[in-house]
Amino acid sequence: MRKRELLLHKSTKAIHSGGLKKSVFGEVSVPIFQSSTFSFSDADDGASRFAGEQEGYIYTRMGNPTTRSLEDCIATLENGYAGMATSSGMAAATTVFLALLDRNAHIISTASVYGPTRMVLEREFSRYGVRSTFVDTSNLANIEAALKAPETRMIFIETPANPTISITDIFATAEIARKHDLLLVVDNTFASPYLQRPIEHGADITVHSLTKFLNGHSDVVGGMIVTKNETLFNKIKPVLNLFGATMDPHQAWLVLRGVRTLPLRVEKAQENAIKLSQYLLQHSEVAWVNYPGLTEHPQHKVAKRQMDGFGAMISFGVKNGFEGGKVLMNNVQLFTLAVSLGGVESLIEHPASMTHASVPKEEREEAGILDELVRISVGCEDFNDLRDDLDQALNKIP
């Protein structure tokens, strides 16, 4: 990390963080080093690189200058020690689990966490003896009640949570983790480091799906792990390299390009989201709205304390339940019916039948993912167009 970056505002960091230590030809944009392997000047040079005694690149699965630029950029934005770019957001989460959870370990997680994150813990890691407890982590008492000494090793929270948009107090959860000598991992995808930096609030590790706000254009799949210190980095990095879930340099370059406009995109999308949440709150076909920027949101004060803004994700319940949601999905014209989030275009989806369909209904409902719940990722279009599209579609609900 360059020292001058510590003095820069977050919008400036998004544009200038991450880059080569020494340019090749004075280029302004980081080049794409599309090379699978890197040569050594002599045998001693190769031996010292493999031994970790000398900096330098060996093989792109283990490290690449373009990928390193992205890793440095996101670590700077998160105010963490170092970043590790992965092939997807799920690769980031599973690599953390692989590196830090042993057989018979226990993990506590947000109940309404991203569906595949819950699935991989329940279906795959359980085969190797890892046990998981999923609770509403917005209520700190639930975390305390779920502790299983001495098996519990990690608390994994997603805040804002997917798709309920519930908020977990990062600082208070970190205090619980420290008290019991646990690791706190935060999925920071929904906020991005532009709006929230969990390490500043006591988290040990943050993970991201770079696919979402950080890339911002719905054209790249990628993930990132950021650790608060060198010790955790040294535990995770070898596992990432061995399992091969690392990122391709062209993929990294595209994400780095997207990060440069992160402040502009998030500010515009957030502005739209605030207005849309207020509009939805008054609509006759809407039963309830969850958006952290609304004073009605149960964790509004927590969000205001730990976030720089309330983001661009909204969940709301439509009247007539599942059928009402289906009518809405089938009648939007400007909103794109698709999963994912964080792009410049606005997306709409129905979690009970899409992203969380594989989670048993009873577990979904316990996590607050009701059949009536609709999730929208608000983009950068004109607010009036977005409002009018939702209005005409909602008015078709019988």
The predicted pLDDT at position 6 comes to 53
Does residue 6 lie within any of the structural domains?
Answer: no
CA distances (Å), origin 232, targets 21, 96, 183, 218, 305 = 24, 10, 10, 31, 27
**In this structure, are 250 and 302 located in the same domain?**
no
In a domain, 72, yes or no: yes
Alpha-carbon gap, residue 259 to 263, rounded angstroms: 8
Does residue 358 share a domain with residue 326?
Answer: yes
Is there a single domain that holds both residue 249 and residue 377? no
- Residue 326 forms part of a structural domain: yes
Determine, yes or no, domain membership for 277.
yes
* Residue whose tokens read 């608390």: 155
pLDDT at residue 360, rounded to an integer: 81
Based on the fold, state whether residues 270 and 214 are members of the same structural domain.
Answer: no
Task: Name which of 226, 256, 69, 227 is nearest 57 in CA terms.
Answer: 69
End-to-end CA distance of the chain: give it in Å, rounded. Answer: 57
Is the link from the previous residue into 31 a cis peptide, with omega within 30 of 0?
Answer: no
CATH of the domain at 192: 3.40.640.10
> Where a domain ends, among 240, 259, 278?
259
pLDDT at residue 363, rounded to an integer: 81
List, by residue number, the catalytic residues. 61, 114, 187, 212
Based on the fold, state whether residues 156 and 38 are members of the same structural domain: yes
Where do we find the tokens 């999905």?
A: 329
Say if residue 255 is in the same domain as residue 270: no
- 393 and 328 in contact (C-beta within 8 Å)? yes
183, 270: one domain: no
Q: How far is CA 62 from CA 224, 241, 244, in A?
A: 15, 6, 8
Choosing from 211, 229, 259, the residue where a domain stops is 259
Count structural domains, the chain.
2
Write down the pLDDT at residue 335: 98
Residue 4 belongs to a domain: no
The whole-number mean pLDDT for each consecutive block of 10 residues of the chain, a chain of 398 residues, reads 61 92 87 94 91 89 96 98 98 98 97 93 96 97 96 98 96 98 98 98 98 97 98 98 97 98 98 98 96 97 98 96 91 96 96 77 83 96 98 95
